[in-house]
């Protein structure tokens, strides 16, 4: 028995499913999880001493690579001064300024401790601000695990085959309206039917939780127009895309201004940070300047702020275009290798994110993503992992590259892919 297997057996008796977040259990690819002892740059090292090239990157946060020296040093230096004050600290002001400078749609920002908290709080704010209840989300869009968003919520829920989770009252989800990603007609119809009570549209500007799905030209602009016309807020959930599609997120890349933006993952540089921000006039409705309540004991935690700040400062100096072209060339080569084996493949790519779907048809929304062959993916996943390549354990996830992935890492990955037998 390996150390990972041993730890997992123990974990199963102590933690539900042996994990603290469901997808980590690797159930959908019929594997057991590997327990990670350390991580550096593009690589993970398991408890058994196996080194893996990582394309999960903690599900997105580690765009600089694992254990980046500047981030590690900032955390250590900050920890020497105490770990939590429950009172304001300088680093909160500095990170707020950095985020506001970076993200075009954010004039004011509130820090929280996870992406879930960011989206949940942004929705409360949108409801409080507009005095309306409804929210439009997209099939396969994931916005964390708050009740209102757990209707058709993408990867984790999709691969677990739980269409709607028990524990969420029908009364809560009845305000959640669903449309298909890239389908403006459906959104328009919802607005025309019940626009008086729709507080917001929440969307991942580039969808990353049904695998990677890009917005069709005009889709995001259409959402901007419809929300303006019907007096609803447009919320961009940039928990994945923020600081990744470019330093200013998808909204900068697409020259779009949402009313509210949710951030997470990269903003904490590997520590628990989320944030939501937007127009000053809307953000002013949050307590204590306004009356929409939202709070957090560890919000703005100094260690988390230090990690986020060091991460964003280092990212501001990186060449995003170069990483995008490396990722484009690499993912295209990977696609070619798999197609060369006679498999149906469709590749979606942007910046440092891609998904290879085992599907012959284009993937533009959740139903077309679900049409991909999960069995082929399982074979691919298992044999890649045996060869030291660590992919996300689901056919409906993104692969992430980082500034730490070397040409040799990518070469070794392609070599491993060419050896997979289907
Ligand atoms: C990961 C994710 C969330 C939730 O963030 P957590 O930190 O896991 O709570 C929300 N929205 C999107 C788009 C995400 O990818």
The pLDDT assigned to 155 comes to 53
Residue 375 annotated as catalytic: no
Whether 237 is catalytic: yes
> What mean pLDDT do residues 193-205 have?
97
Residue 390 falls in the annotated catalytic set: no
Among 129, 142, 247, 320, the one annotated catalytic: 142
Asked if 28 contacts 162 with a C-beta cutoff of 8 angstroms, the reply is no
Ligand 1 centroid distance, CA of 2 (Å) = 31
Q: pTM for this structure?
A: 0.97
pLDDT in tens, 79-101: 999 999 999 999 999 999 999 99
Beta-carbon-side half-sphere exposure of residue 56 (alpha carbons within 13 Å):
20
Token pair recorded at residue 271: 């520590």
Domains 3-64+319-419 and 69-315 share a fold: no
Q: Domain map of the chain by residue range? A: 3-64+319-419, 69-315
pLDDT score for 173: 85
Mean pLDDT (whole number) for 229-252: 98
Question: What are the tokens at 62?
Answer: 């580690």
Q: Which of 56, 137, 142, 355 to mutate to test the pocket of ligand 1 (most atoms within 8 A of CB)?
A: 142
pLDDT digits (tens, 9 = 90+) for 17-63: 999 999 999 999 999 999 999 999 999 999 999 999 999 999 999 99
- Per DSSP, 213 falls in state B
Ligand 1 centroid distance, CA of 117 (Å): 9
**Which positions ≥6 away from 298 have C-beta within 8 Å?**
84, 113, 272, 304
From 265, 276, 320, 365, active-site residue: 265
Question: Residue 338 and residue 263: Cα distance in Å, rounded?
Answer: 34
Give me ligand 1 centre to Cα 170, in Å. Answer: 23
Distance 360 CA to ligand 1 centre (A): 29
Contacts of 352 (CB under 8 A, 6+ apart): 63, 244, 320, 323, 324, 327, 400, 401, 402
Contact of 53 with 390, CB cutoff 8 Å: yes
Spell out which residues line ligand 1, taking CB within 6 angstroms.
Answer: 114-116, 119, 142-144, 204, 208-209, 237, 239-240, 264, 274
- Architecture of the CATH domain 3-64+319-419: Alpha-Beta Complex (3.90)
Ligand 1 atom nearest residue 141's Cα: 13
Q: 115 CA distance to ligand 1 centroid (A)?
A: 4
Question: pLDDT tens-digit profile of 121-176?
Answer: 999 999 999 999 999 999 999 999 999 998 765 555 444 434 468 888 888 888 99
Give residue 161's pLDDT: 35
pLDDT at 158: 44
What is the architecture of the domain spanning 69-315?
A: 3-Layer(aba) Sandwich (3.40)
Instruction: Determine which one of 54, 237, 259, 365 is catalytic.
Output: 237
């Amino acid at each position: 028995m390996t150390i990972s297997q041993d730890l997992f057996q123990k974990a199963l008796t102590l933690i539900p499913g042996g994990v603290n977040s469901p997808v980590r259990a690797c159930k959908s690819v019929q594997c057991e999880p590997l327990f990670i002892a350390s991580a550096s740059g593009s690589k993970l090292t398991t408890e058994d001493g196996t080194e893996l090239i990582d394309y999960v990157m903690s599900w997105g946060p580690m765009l600089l690579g694992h254990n980046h020296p500047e981030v590690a040093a900032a955390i250590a230096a900050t920890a020497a001064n105490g770990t939590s004050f429950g009172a304001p600290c300088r680093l909160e002001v500095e990170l707020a300024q950095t985020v506001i400078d970076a993200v075009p749609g954010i004039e004011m920002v509130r820090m929280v401790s996870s992406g879930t908290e960011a989206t949940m709080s942004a929705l409360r704010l949108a409801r409080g601000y507009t005095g309306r209840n409804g929210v439009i989300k997209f099939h396969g869009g994931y916005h964390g695990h708050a009740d209102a968003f757990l209707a058709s919520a993408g990867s984790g829920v999709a691969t677990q085959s739980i269409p709607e989770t028990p524990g969420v009252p029908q009364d809560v989800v009845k305000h959640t309206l669903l449309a298909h990603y890239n389908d403006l007609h459906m959104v328009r119809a919802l607005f025309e039917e019940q626009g008086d009570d729709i507080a917001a549209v929440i969307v991942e500007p580039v969808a990353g939780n049904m695998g990677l799905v890009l917005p069709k030209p005009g889709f995001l602009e259409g959402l901007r127009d419809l929300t303006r016309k019907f007096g609803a807020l447009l919320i961009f959930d940039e928990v994945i895309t923020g600081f990744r599609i470019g330093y200013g997120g998808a909204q900068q890349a697409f020259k779009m201004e949402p009313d509210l933006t949710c951030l997470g993952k990269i903003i904490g540089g590997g520590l628990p940070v989320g944030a939501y921000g937007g127009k000053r006039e809307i953000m002013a409705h949050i307590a204590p300047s306004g009356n929409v309540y939202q709070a957090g004991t560890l919000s703005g935690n100094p260690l988390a702020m230090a990690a986020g700040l060091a991460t964003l400062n280092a990212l501001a100096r990186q060449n995003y275009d170069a990483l995008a072209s490396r990722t484009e060339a690499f993912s295209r080569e990977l696609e070619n290798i798999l197609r060369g084996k006679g498999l149906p493949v469709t590749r979606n790519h942007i910046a440092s994110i891609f998904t290879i779907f085992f599907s012959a048809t284009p993937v533009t929304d959740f139903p077309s993503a679900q049409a991909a062959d999960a069995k082929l993916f399982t074979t691919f996943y298992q044999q890649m992992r045996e060869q030291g390549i660590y992919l996300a354990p689901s056919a409906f996830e993104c692969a992430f590259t980082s500034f730490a992935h070397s040409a040799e890492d990518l070469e070794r990955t392609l070599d491993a892919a060419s050896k997979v037998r289907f």
